[in-house]
Amino acid sequence: MNFKFILTLLICSLWYSVSAQLVNITFQVDMSNSGLTPTVVSIGGGFQGWAPEAGALTDIGNGIWERTYSIQSNTNIQFKFTAGANWDLVEQVPSECGVSDGFGSFNRTLQIGNIDGTYGPVCYSSCLACEEVELVPVTFRVDMSNETVGPNGVHVAGTFQNWNPATSELLPVGFGVYEGTFGIASNSTAYFKFINGNDWPGQEAVPADCGNPDGFGSFNRFIEVGTESSSYTEVCFEGCYSCDEVIPVLVTFQVDMSNEIVDPLGVFITGSFNDFDAADIQMSQGLDNVYEAVLVLNPGETIQYKFLNGPSFDGQESVPSECGIDDGFGSFNRSHSVEASPETLPALCFSSCAACPTIETYLLTLGVDMNDEVPNVDGVYVAGTFNDFNASAHQMIESDPGIYEITIEVTANENILYKFLNGPSFDFEEEVPVDCGVDDGFGGFNRSILVDSDISADLVCFSTCTICLVQVDEIALQEIRLSPNPTNGIINLQTENTIERLTLIDMNGRLIASFYNLRNGDQLDLSSFDSGVYLLQSTGFKPSRIIIE
């Protein structure tokens, strides 16, 4: 056998045995300064599948816990200690001795060599041994004057006590102010929040102006701790200043839902002011599909928010990046800096940076002659693209014997498709002839008309392209002059002839009211009807549009 081959084989074998060697590493953590009294302390790391439930340490006394693992030599590992058998009370590893964990925090790191060794004992949530950590007294003060304090009191939770909302209580010191002093490692940055109660549902929504992003779309307070005792300036709960300095203002938020199908449960607003609770604040419907909510906010704070179509984030709007800020979840929030005086924000289109575009409309009058038919006792109807071909949505009015009409508001310059029905169902639809129809996709035909102005379609006989052979004598259409228009309720009529019956029709073609035997100079009282646009029409007269304010 070739000597060089044997030598190479021996070298490779030796290299493999060294590289595959396992070394014993003992991990020790000192819980003395943690502020916790755990019955279980664990470790989780890449070398054991990040499984703290399988990484319980042994209490060896004096606050020190340890465990020895056999780990492959010449590797770099990452890990954390946790007070328990899960990640609920995981330590906050300082950045000075950690590497990013990809979630806004840090992992411990250790380079494993070729010999057995011991890591620690290191102080929980620290880079040093506990005896080397200098604890500096830091006093926290919060003014709860504007809050109703719950029966569980007021607490603070932060990196210095492993974000436990129940262990660090603040005590009342008068005039709504709560205070507590805790030891925090010198020359460190402490991140924290105040809690109204002793659990996370009571956490404050820290304003962005005095907060640091927490990695979850909200903010934490922070204080730089030096080598001497210090205090966090008294602030109003959920504010950046003391309550005496802040006079809350009313801010009205508006969203235009004209382009949306509104959820039956309503429209909501959520944001940093309510810890992004989706179902907390329902908006009220105003005019023209605009919804609004009035919030009490503090001047100077910058809030983040978004609108929701329904009480959950399933219906959240897609805020464009042009007018949004990153929400930390791949989408965007709206933002607003609160002024010192009350303000009403403009109505923005849902999922848009601007107002909804104005849609120009025209009035379309449709008529059908039923003199060759037996009109259905339930009425004559029209269905079309203007009502998603709803068979029962638009009932027509008999304006002359056997003549049925309706005037509706439609989008300008749109080619309208429609057909007449002798009853509120497609079981009674007319058979539109091919000569005046367009394919409806179901083996039949629809009528069509381009609406490029206020227009009246030619009167046709049911199921034909022309007028019926027997027609009611045509009457030259007269005008009804109305004043004032718009009106707050009372209008004056000017007409040359007596009006036997005058009907008030809404823009959906529904009959609202009828008035009889009207003469020139008569008045109508419309004050009992809702604000909006209506039509007044009568046989032999041109329909007139009236606006009730």
The kind and range of the H/E element at 193 are strand 188-196
Q: What is the pLDDT of residue 515?
A: 87
Q: What is the pLDDT of residue 218?
A: 84
Q: How far apart are CA 334 and CA 327, in angstroms?
A: 9
Confidence check: pLDDT of 470 > 50: no
Q: How far apart are CA 445 and CA 443, in angstroms?
A: 7
CA dist list (Å): 536 to 118, 215, 478: 93, 60, 13
Share of the chain above pLDDT 70, in %: 94
361 — pLDDT class (breaks 50, 70, 90): confident
Domain region containing 229:
134-244
The kind and range of the H/E element at 9 are helix 3-19
Q: Which DSSP letter does residue 200 get?
A: G
In this structure, what is the dihedral angle of CA atoms 222, 32, 76, 96, given to the nearest 10 degrees?
30
**Least confident segment among 102-106, 259-263, 384-388:** 102-106
More confident residue, 107 or 88: 107
More confident residue, 109 or 162: 109
Which two three-digit tokens encode residue 474?
Answer: 């045509």
Alpha-carbon dihedral sign for residues 508, 510, 513, 519: positive
Residues 6+ apart with CB under 8 A from 511: 395, 397, 503, 504, 505
Total domains, the chain: 5
89 shares a domain with 28: yes
Q: Which DSSP letter does residue 316 get?
A: B
Which two three-digit tokens encode residue 144?
Answer: 């709860």
116 shares a domain with 54: yes
**What are the backbone dihedrals phi and psi of residue 244, each rounded to the nearest 5 degrees, phi first?**
-70, -30
**pLDDT per position as a tens digit, 403-450:** 999 999 888 889 999 999 999 999 999 999 998 999 999 999 999 999
Closest by alpha carbon to 140, among 165, 185, 174, 171? 171
20 — pLDDT class (breaks 50, 70, 90): low
CATH of the domain at 208: 2.60.40.10
Task: Give the other-Cβ count within 10 Å of 299's Cβ.
Answer: 17
Confidence check: pLDDT of 314 > 50: yes
Which two three-digit tokens encode residue 524?
Answer: 């109508």
Under 8 Å between Cβ of 351 and 384: no
6 — pLDDT class (breaks 50, 70, 90): very low
Q: What is the pLDDT of residue 507?
A: 67
User: Is residue 459 classed as helix, strand or coil in its secondary structure?
Assistant: coil
**What are the backbone dihedrals phi and psi of residue 210, each rounded to the nearest 5 degrees, phi first?**
-130, 25
Let me know if residue 210 belongs to a domain.
Answer: yes
How many CA atoms lie within 13 Å of 26's alpha carbon, on the beta-carbon side? 11
Of 205, 227, 244, which residue is a domain's last?
Answer: 244
Of 314, 349, 384, which residue is a domain's last?
Answer: 349
Confidence check: pLDDT of 134 > 80: yes
Of 318, 349, 380, which residue is a domain's last?
Answer: 349
**pLDDT per position as a tens digit, 376-401:** 989 999 999 998 899 999 999 998 88
263 — pLDDT class (breaks 50, 70, 90): very high
**pLDDT per position as a tens digit, 25-48:** 999 999 987 767 789 999 999 999
Beta bridge partners of 451: 414
Let me know if residue 356 belongs to a domain.
Answer: no
Under 8 Å between Cβ of 207 and 240: yes
Q: How far apart are CA 490 and CA 41, in angstroms?
A: 81
236 shares a domain with 193: yes
